[in-house]
Structure 1
Amino acid sequence: MQQALPDVAVVGAGIVGLSTAYALLERGVEVRVYEQGAPGNGQSGGESRIFRHAHGDPRLVRDTQDSRAVYDEWSERLGVPLISGDGAVAIGPSVDDSLPLLQEAGVAAHRLDSAQLAERLPALASYDGPAMVDERGGSIHTRAMVGALVEALGDRLVTDEVLSVRPVGGEVEVRSGGRTDRYRAAVVCAGRGTDHLARTVGLSIPVEHAAHVRLTFAVRGAAPARLSTLQDSSGVFGETGVYAAASADHTRFAVGLSGHTPVREDGSVLAPGDLEDLARRAARYVSRALPGLDPDPVEVRHCWVTRLPWGEDGIGVWEREGILFPVGHNLFKQAPGLGRKLAAAAAGEPLPDLLRPEARLGAPPA
């Protein structure tokens, strides 16, 4: 069946762009998605991510609950389990701050003793400090999700680089390498390139750019029946701000530190040696904290970070005459819920006030 002409352009086929495009199709709105590289291979790249409800901003906890419900719905419709049922584990002093917020919001989260922790995370060394599990958290199966969304979009996804977007006569003009088209609306989900395209319409987005590295390690021996995700703020094993997520078959565990290295305005990395240092520190952490993993990494993933100044999990959407510019960090867990909100706004509904920059969604309470 021939597709109708697209009403909306989506720039970028990372997880937010793909989710927005799929949500537009849910609404019966035709869409064209521009991506200059492989879909899901930029900031969304890698095999797994953490789904967690824990955030310092209670509004973001509720927003994540909404996104989890969409994950369930899409898993059933796409025929792909998008999040594992293994739970999300946190250890360290952050537990005492996060757990009350989660329980107040109705999230199924509770403390773990050392034996329960060992059952959830058999790769972890002995630990008897504060620990909790978010039962509805788990590892997002990122490659499976990207693949399912790309298949659903079909030839609505075009390989082309977008040079500019601008409002013209009540429409949005998109100029790319091989075409110039006009749409009723556009959503720019271009990762590090989002604020560059925003400047073409006079917007200045206060995004902080950085580079990051994440390593994947093989699980020793047979794959465990359960392998929860991990966030470690304890410092017991020499690092804080550690995160880790499992592959779908539990044979690999991706581990990263919260550190980044800044980049210049032109995108060049200020100190490339910082990435090597982060990788070494992650490998040393695995040797100390995760003896159930082989300490020699089997995969490395470098990616950009686009962080807003009000928080590590901050989200904001800038708007200019039919063009939406969503910006944030750690957006994979929010992508289905956020995609539906962006699709609704692109289809003509008001953008939720919570997503406007002045709401500072994701900022920790004062």
Structure 2
Amino acid sequence: MGNEPQVAVIGAGIVGLCTAYALLERGVEVRVYEQGVPGNGQSGGLWRIFRHAHDDPRLVEATQASRTAYAEWGERLGVEMVSGDGAVALGPSAERRLPLLQRLGVPARRIDAEELAQCHPLLAAYDGPAVLDEGGGSIRTTATIQALTAMLGDRRVGDEVIGIRPLGERVEVRSGGSTHTYDRVVVAAGRGSAHLARTVGLSLPVQHAAHVRLTFAVRGQAPARLATLQDSSGEFGETGIYAAAVPGNTAYALGLSQTTEAREDASLVSSGELGDLAARAGDYVRRALPGLDPEPVDVRHCWVTLLPWGEDGMAVWESGGLLFPAGHNLWKQAPALGRKLAVAAAGQELDPVLTPSSRLGAPTTLSDATVRR
């Protein structure tokens, strides 16, 4: 690996990997701790949606920076990180967000039923409000995780972090098999971040929950183009649907935005609710997506970490050389967030927009929010 690492990153999900790669971009040596398979925790699954649409203009701008970074990194590493198929949103909320997107230079526009059918050939007939985000698409999660992990080489340590603490001007990290000190430590451990924060006296205001995503096979020949989908229209019986294609467009994966509640220790209040959400997703496919076989071929259960000011909320907490990013839907934000974390981990000031008091990702009005308390 060469020089002794100056920075440690705890967690090799998408935020941790993007932070590590951004540090290497800056010439800063890094060590990444991950006890499991990289990208197999909260970042797990075959796909994610890349979309620019948010109520907070600062988050739209952050997403634009991430889209640019995904393109740069994909070209550099020789992988497609985000498809070029676009992102479709249905319903009045899509039209409501459109003026902000256009004002900030996002290539988004209203589309009619004919164009909707062209970019989403699996969808049943629909003639309501529809918006196409041309810069959106399906995130190639597996290829992205593999490419970023490969860049780490022997910088990745397959071990659990037991404890962290500030030690003078350094930070000590104790794992199962070693103890090292660093100039800065970024804790991007998903559900485990709150636990590690408590060891240094921080209480992150996160709510843990779980959700389920199902993958369905495309009937017949895979379409050449298959945009992602967000459906808040209610036209097909649900108002919180999100879906994206797997590579090759041979299958389409879908979930509901609703989650099942977890207690403070992250145990589920009712694990049966995940089955209910899965059944509703299958029913939606039967009504809205006749181009799919309604029997799922894959399922993914996943934890999510929510902040109190909104489902797209994100922030970074600082304490004595430690940085704790937290939030939900971070696949869209990870490259730009990773670059800003790398700046702070290299010794400069954290971008003020990421401080908790900024409430990044808060909806513009309470009625627009899906706030979980």
TM interval, short-chain normalised: over 0.9
Which residue of structure 2 aligns with residue 6 of structure 1?
Answer: 5
The aligned amino acid for 1:263 is: A
Distance 2:266 2:117 in 1: 42
Return the alpha-carbon distance in structure 1 between the equivalents of residues 265 and 93 of structure 2. Answer: 36
For the residue of structure 1 that corresponds to 2:333, the secondary structure is helix
Matched with 2:369 is none
Q: Is residue 142 of structure 1 aligned with residue 141 of structure 2? A: yes
Shift of 1:158: 1.0
Question: How far apart, CA to CA, are the structure 1 residues paired with 2:62 and 2:167?
Answer: 34
Report the 3-state secondary structure (helix = DSSP H, G, I; strand = E; otherwise coil) of the residue aligned with 1:164: strand
CA distance in 2 between partners of 1:60 and 1:206 (Å): 20
Hey, what does 1:114 align to over in structure 2? 113
Deviation at 1:347, TM superposition (A): 0.2
Find the aligned partners of 1:269 and 1:184 in 2 and give their Cα distance. Answer: 37
RMSD between superposed Cα atoms in Å = 0.7
Contact 2:213 2:255 in 1 (8 A): yes
AA matched with 1:127: Y
Instruction: Provide the secondary structure at the position in 1 that maps to 2:332.
Output: helix
Does residue 213 (structure 1) correspond to residue 212 (structure 2)? The answer is yes
- Displacement of 1:76: 0.8
Structure 1 position 265, deviation (Å): 2.0
Mapping 1:269-308, distance limit 5 Å: 269-308=268-307
Deviation at 1:42, TM superposition (A): 0.7
Alignment-derived partner of residue 18 in structure 1: 17
Opposite residue 124 of structure 2, the aligned amino acid is A
1:90 and 2:89 matched: yes
Q: Find the counterpart in structure 1 of residue 353 from structure 2.
A: 354
Superposition TM-score, scaled by structure 1 size: 0.99
Deviations 1:65-111 (A, max 9, x none): 11111111101111101110000000011122111110111110001
> How far is the alpha carbon of 1:290 from its aligned partner?
0.5
* Alignment gaps of 5+ in structure 1: none
Amino acid at match of 1:87: G
What is residue 155 of structure 2 aligned with on the other side?
156
1:1-366 pair list within 5 angstroms: 2-366=1-365
Cα deviations across residues 15-60 of structure 1 (Å, max 9, x unaligned)? Answer: 0000000111111111110011100001111111110000010110
Deviation at 1:163, TM superposition (A): 1.3
Q: Distance in 1 between matches of 2:283 and 2:167?
A: 54
d(CA) in 1 for partners of 2:340, 2:253: 30
Deviation at 1:156, TM superposition (A): 0.6
Deviation at 1:208, TM superposition (A): 0.7
The answer to whether the 8 A contact 2:95-2:131 is kept is no
Contact 2:95 2:110 (C-alpha < 8 Å) held by counterparts: no
Is this contact kept in 1: 2:187–2:324, CA < 8 A? yes
Q: Distance in 2 between matches of 1:220 and 1:4?
A: 53
The Cα shift of 1:248 comes to 1.5
SS in 1 for 2:82: coil
Deviation per CA, 1:235-256, whole angstroms, max 9, x where unpaired?
Answer: 1111011000101200011100
Aligned length: 365
Letter in 2 for 1:174: V
> Which letter does structure 2 place at the counterpart of 1:264?
R
CA distance in 1, matches of 2:54, 2:100: 8
Write the distance in 2 (CA, Å) between the matches of 1:121 and 1:40: 28
Question: Which deviations, in whole Å up to 9, do the C-alpha atoms of 1:198-244 show, x marking residues without a partner?
Answer: 11111111101001100011111000010000000001111011000
Instruction: State how far apart, in whole Å, the 2-side matches of 1:267 and 1:315 are.
Output: 19
Residue 337 of structure 1 deviates from its aligned partner by 0.7
Which of structure 1's runs of 4+ aligned residues deviate more than 6 A?
A: none
Whole-Å Cα distance in 1 between the matches of residues 214 and 138 of structure 2? 15
Aligned with 2:276: secondary structure?
helix
Secondary structure of 1:332's counterpart equals coil
